[in-house]
């Protein structure tokens, strides 16, 4: 259907159908992480939509102050998820941000943060990561994270780059049992460069479940962070490049689906690509196929449901519970904010450190109140942010990726070594 566009007086063009769909009921405020720490209408979805409408209608000048209100949104999309009128909030914010980049002031900090992701898979980048791994080992030894200070005042605890960064690429891992199908695994930037152990565990779990696992070479970042930041040209380039690789693999192999452990990437592939196979979050496969486990570890676990798993990938979050409860020795406990943004949202936490920390500390307080000892999740950004949350606010809590949790219980030591060696070139 052709969408009605307005021609505003002050350089902002947005689909008026999206703007007019909002009836200002305010229900979205109940789930908005920024509103629920600031309690100010300008930090609410409704307020951000009203600002866009006022600018579009020429009642309000597009100024850096107005743009800041939109920049302070995590784009978790909880508002969109709950909205009874189906307001397409993501599309609204993406296009608002695009116009701000083009007509007001390019967001250079975000641009410089996101541009390197377009080089993902590049040989020089791989060398730089290896050099970074050696240097960080020299300076901080075996510690897992490096505190990085940004000009905005943000201090983020980043995982170290790894010597085996991007080493899964271009390989087809073989199952060690009867073959049940073939998946493409798209690890994504964070797992390929930093959380390499988790990426390897995903491959090994799928191998043991009987799947061939292709990790493609030639792909870059999914482009989700670029899209969400309004850099649509960069997104388009990434989509084209990645789609070409996926198409070629689909012509050569019988592919059962694309597996991700990054719900932002998964949501981007589902919503903004047109792929010839379905997209799965790993937990969907584990829910179906992982047997019951007995770890012998009596611990209380809770789950941080990554927002884009249910708002973008449209998963029912109970799938995470069922996978966690495969370990019959663990006890699953819940707080009140399990389904609430952690405040990472990529460059959001770098650009808005105070707001991000308010969201994070509220979340960590809730986890502590739940009585949990461990938080499971399935998103590299959430792992990074929640780890920071344990350093700052909850030293007794531990964060674990759900793939690592499952790997420790499902794979033997021997299988971890052997399965990694079962592969051939794609």
The answer to whether residue 75 forms part of the interface with ligand SF4 (CB under 6 A) is yes
Site mask for ligand SF4 (CB under 6 A), range 41-70, x = bound = ----xx-xx---------------------
The answer to whether residue 77 forms part of the interface with ligand SF4 (CB under 6 A) is yes
Report yes or no: 12 and 230 within 8 Å, Cβ to Cβ.
Answer: no
In 282-345, DSSP assigns E strands to: 300-303, 331-332
Quick one: tokens of 292?
């019951």
Distance of closest approach, residue 358 Cβ to ligand SF4, in angstroms: 12
Part of the chain binding ligand SF4 (CB under 6 A), chosen from 85-93, 192-200, 259-267, 376-384 = 85-93
Sheet-wide strand order for 211-215: 279-281, 257-260, 181-185, 211-215, 171-173, 423-425
Q: Where in 353-382 is the site for ligand SF4 (CB under 6 A)?
A: none
In 191-255, DSSP assigns E strands to: 211-215
Part of the chain binding ligand SF4 (CB under 6 A), chosen from 78-86, 211-219, 263-271, 276-284 = 78-86
Strand-strand pairing, 257-260 and 423-425: unpaired
Per-residue DSSP letters for 346-359?
THHHHH-HHHHHHH
Name the one residue in this structure whose structure tokens are 């060398």. 127
Complex with ligand SF4: residue 90 or 160, whichever CB lies closer = 90
Distance of closest approach, residue 343 Cβ to ligand SF4, in angstroms: 9
Part of the chain binding ligand SF4 (CB under 6 A), chosen from 76-84, 94-102, 126-134, 135-143 = 76-84
Query: What is the sign of the dihedral through the CA atoms of 15, 16, 22 and 28?
Result: positive
CA 76 vs CA 286, 287, 312: distances in Å? 25, 24, 9
Distance of closest approach, residue 307 Cβ to ligand SF4, in angstroms: 7
Q: Binder to ligand SF4 among 12, 19, 52, 87 (CB under 6 A)?
A: 87
Distance of closest approach, residue 12 Cβ to ligand SF4, in angstroms: 18
Report yes or no: 342 and 382 within 8 Å, Cβ to Cβ.
Answer: yes
Residue 115 CA to chain centroid, in angstroms? 17
Q: Binder to ligand SF4 among 37, 51, 66, 73 (CB under 6 A)?
A: 73
Site mask for ligand SF4 (CB under 6 A), range 2-31, x = bound = --------------------xxxxxxx--x
Complex with ligand SF4: residue 120 or 357, whichever CB lies closer = 357
Distance of closest approach, residue 89 Cβ to ligand SF4, in angstroms: 6
Complex with ligand SF4: residue 32 or 222, whichever CB lies closer = 32
Distance of closest approach, residue 417 Cβ to ligand SF4, in angstroms: 43
- Which residues, in sequence order, are bridge partners of residue 398? 374
Distance of closest approach, residue 73 Cβ to ligand SF4, in angstroms: 3
User: 14: how many CB neighbours lie within 10 A of its CB?
Assistant: 23
Report yes or no: 133 and 162 within 8 Å, Cβ to Cβ.
Answer: yes
Q: Which of 298, 265, 291, 299 is nearest to 280 (CA)?
A: 265
Strand-strand pairing, 374-377 and 300-303: parallel
Q: Which of 236, 222, 308, 228 is nearest to 265 (CA)?
A: 222
* CA 128 – CA 150 distance, rounded (Å): 20
Distance of closest approach, residue 178 Cβ to ligand SF4, in angstroms: 45
Q: Binder to ligand SF4 among 51, 52, 67, 78 (CB under 6 A)?
A: 78
Helical packing angle, 353-370 and 380-392, nearest 10°:
80
Helical packing angle, 89-99 and 45-56, nearest 10°:
50
The answer to whether residue 79 forms part of the interface with ligand SF4 (CB under 6 A) is yes
Q: Binder to ligand SF4 among 18, 83, 290, 364 (CB under 6 A)?
A: 83
Q: Binder to ligand SF4 among 14, 51, 53, 89 (CB under 6 A)?
A: 89
Distance of closest approach, residue 422 Cβ to ligand SF4, in angstroms: 42
Q: Binder to ligand SF4 among 12, 18, 32, 350 (CB under 6 A)?
A: 32
Q: Binder to ligand SF4 among 63, 85, 177, 247 (CB under 6 A)?
A: 85
Part of the chain binding ligand SF4 (CB under 6 A), chosen from 80-88, 280-288, 379-387, 392-400 = 80-88
Percentages helix, strand, coil for the chain, rounded to the nearest 5? 50, 10, 35
Task: Return residues touching ligand SF4 (CB under 6 A).
Answer: 22-28, 31-34, 45-46, 48-49, 73-79, 83, 85, 87, 89
């Amino acid at each position: 259907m052709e969408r009605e566009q307005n021609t505003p007086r002050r350089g902002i063009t947005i689909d008026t159908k999206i703007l007019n769909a909002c009836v200002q009921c305010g229900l979205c405020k109940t789930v908005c992480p920024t509103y629920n720490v600031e309690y100010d209408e300008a930090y609410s979805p409704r307020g951000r939509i009203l600002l866009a409408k006022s600018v579009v209608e020429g009642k309000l000048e597009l100024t850096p102050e107005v743009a800041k209100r939109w920049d302070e949104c995590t784009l978790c999309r909880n508002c969109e998820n709950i909205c009874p009128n189906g307001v397409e909030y993501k599309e609204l914010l993406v296009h608002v941000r695009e116009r701000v980049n083009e007509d007001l002031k390019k967001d250079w900090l975000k641009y410089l943060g996101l541009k390197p992701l377009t080089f993902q898979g590049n040989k020089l980048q791989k060398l730089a990561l290896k050099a970074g791994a050696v240097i960080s080992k020299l300076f901080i030894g075996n510690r897992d994270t490096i505190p990085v200070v940004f000009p905005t005042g943000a201090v983020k605890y980043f995982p170290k780059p790894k010597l085996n960064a991007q080493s899964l690429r271009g390989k087809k891992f073989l199952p060690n049992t009867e073959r049940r199908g073939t998946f493409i695994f798209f690890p994504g930037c964070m797992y390929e460069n930093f959380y390499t152990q988790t990426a390897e565990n995903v491959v090994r779990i799928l191998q043991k479940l009987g799947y061939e696992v292709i990790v493609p070479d030639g792909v870059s970042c999914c482009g989700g962070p670029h899209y969400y930041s309004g850099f649509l040209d960069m997104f388009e380039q990434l989509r084209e490049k990645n789609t070409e690789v996926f198409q070629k693999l689909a012509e050569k192999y019988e592919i059962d689906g694309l597996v991700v452990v990054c719900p932002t990437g998964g949501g981007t592939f589902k919503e903004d690509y047109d792929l010839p196979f379905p997209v799965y979050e790993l937990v969907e496969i584990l829910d179906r196929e992982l047997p019951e486990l007995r770890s012998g570890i009596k611990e209380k676990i809770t789950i941080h449901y990554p927002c884009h798993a249910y708002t973008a990938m449209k998963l029912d979050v109970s799938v995470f519970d069922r996978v966690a409860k495969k370990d019959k020795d663990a006890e699953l406990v819940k707080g009140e904010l399990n389904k609430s943004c952690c405040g990472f949202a990529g460059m959001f936490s770098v650009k808005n450190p105070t707001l991000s920390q308010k969201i994070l500390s509220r979340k960590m307080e809730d986890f502590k109140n739940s009585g949990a000892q461990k938080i499971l999740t399935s998103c590299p950004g959430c792992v990074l942010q929640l780890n920071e949350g344990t350093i700052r606010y909850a030293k007794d809590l531990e964060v674990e990726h759900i793939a690592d949790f499952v790997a420790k219980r499902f794979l033997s030591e021997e299988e971890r070594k052997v399965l990694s060696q079962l592969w051939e070139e794609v």
